[in-house]
Amino acid sequence: MASVRPGRVPSEFALPPTSLRVVAGDERPRGAKAAQPVLRSHAPSEVDWDQAATLRALASKRLTARLDGTPTDLESRRQLGRAVILEVVREATEAHFAVEGHAWTVEEQRALAKAVFDLMFGLGRLQPLVDRDDVEDILAVGHDQVFLNLVDGRKVPGPPVASSDRELVQLLQDLGARNDPPRPFSEAHPALHLNLEGARLAASMSVTQRPALVLRRHRMVRVTLDDLVELGTLTPVMASFLAAAVRARKSIVVSGSQGDGKTTLLRALCAEIGPEEVIGVFETERELGLEKLTDQHSVVFSWEERPGSGELGPDGKPVNQYSLYQAMRDSFRFILSRQITGEVRGAEVAQMIMAMESGSGSMSTTHAESARQTMEKLISCAVQSKEYTRESAVMKLARCVHLVVQMRTVYAHGKNGVTRKQRVVDEILAVAPGEGVGGYATTTVFRRNGDSPAAPHVLPDDLRDLARFGFALSQFIADAHRGGVA
């Protein structure tokens, strides 16, 4: 089997040599009657999705009957599903020939069978878009206002992802129901967040003007700081600084706007954690994927928040809910050496602080426009969680957070008119307790100047000790002098 590029969520359907031969001349498909076939040369991608939906309903009914309530795992259902799909496509092909007098080509049958499989087991009409190597994000407002963010930075229109808004909602409900544990999507639960094995999906209904979704592909799951140096995201001296900070167990927050590459950098930072360390990951939806890189770290415990059902228990909380707070509390019996809290969007900051206070050299991501705004964002999240006053939030964050790494997306315009998108480290800020109104002090360690890569700026004395962990201190000093800073 050909290897799959990192971040892809490919359709798993493969059509074996068809039992229905379609040839010109005097031969006709087995089982067909009368007239001579006339072959059409439609492109394999030209799928009649309405027809695929009809065959999907037939195949689903037939699959359910054959399973007859027998417990099976997902792979077994898929294998049987493939066989059932081939049957219904073959029958549909023969029926089409009998009525129209011409047969579908093997390519058309293959495309139709794949579409039915994608509707039953994959991402439906989203699947062909996810299978494309040049697609980074899929955005949909309703079923027909679809746009694709391509890897080269362009945004282009995309094909409809359903036949109607109602069908789009049904697709999203199906995806939520297939999740383990299932996630509801309805007017009572109008937001849906799913990890899709190489992609992240966020969707909404009833609270937006139309059902809406954004699907973001994880293009780089197995990634190192050296990889990001080659891509131009950061410089070698920055990479040595960040690698040393991870080894020295500094707590790091990666910040930036949506789509700036925060999660990718966090994965690269985690790759610097020693392979012998026991790692705990805490996420509202699994996204980092460290638990799958067993050759990188053999012991990773991945906790995921469980929203629970709509029914409330005696404590006033949803039945079967499992919060990040519970996960963090339970994790203290798992002899973890690192606690990674994933994305902080709001109340998760309390778990981030808990992890960082444990002294484990924790790491997280959050959304902020600048490195300095990151601290204010985290303080606001802490206060809004009602776990802290501003004073206590400032005190804890100033002591817990050692470094803020700010990501940014920049665009380079080539001579041929092609715009290239580049994700870069914009600034690295050191944080420490401070006097005065703010309650914390910051030092700019690296900063971009115009279009140039982030360059060395000022290194706090306590961070010089990172040289013991592999930091290229002499290179930092030389580059800083060359830039007229130090």
pLDDT of res. 310: 65
Distance, CA of 276 to CA of 485 (rounded, Å): 39
Per-residue pLDDT tens for 53-69?
999 999 999 999 998 87
Residue 289, sorted as left (phi over 0), alpha (psi -120 to 50) or beta, turns out to be left
The pLDDT of residue 414: 65
CATH 3.40.50.300 range(s) for the chain read 225-482
Residue 22 CA to residue 103 CA, distance in Å, equals 7
Residues of the chain with CATH 3.30.450.90: 128-217
The residue written with tokens 């580049």 in the block is: 422
Topology of the domain covering 128-217: Beta-Lactamase (3.30.450)
> 11 pLDDT exceeds 90?
no
Do the Cβ atoms of 172 and 203 come closer than 8 Å?
yes
Q: Confidence class of residue 38 from pLDDT cuts 50, 70 and 90?
A: very low
Domain 225-482 adopts which CATH fold?
Rossmann fold (3.40.50)
- pLDDT at position 360 over 80: no
Judge contact between 428 and 238, C-beta under 8 A: yes
pLDDT of residue 437: 66
* Contact between residue 393 and residue 440 where contact means Cβ atoms under 8 Å apart: no
Average pLDDT, the chain: 86
pTM of the model as a whole: 0.80
CA-CA distance, 298 to 117, in Å (whole number)? Answer: 34
Percent of the chain at pLDDT exceeding 70: 88
In the predicted model, is pLDDT for residue 340 greater than 80? yes
Q: What is the pLDDT of residue 486?
A: 54
Q: Are 85 and 92 in contact (CB under 8 A)?
A: no
Tokens 């699959």 locate to 63
pLDDT at residue 37, rounded to an integer = 29
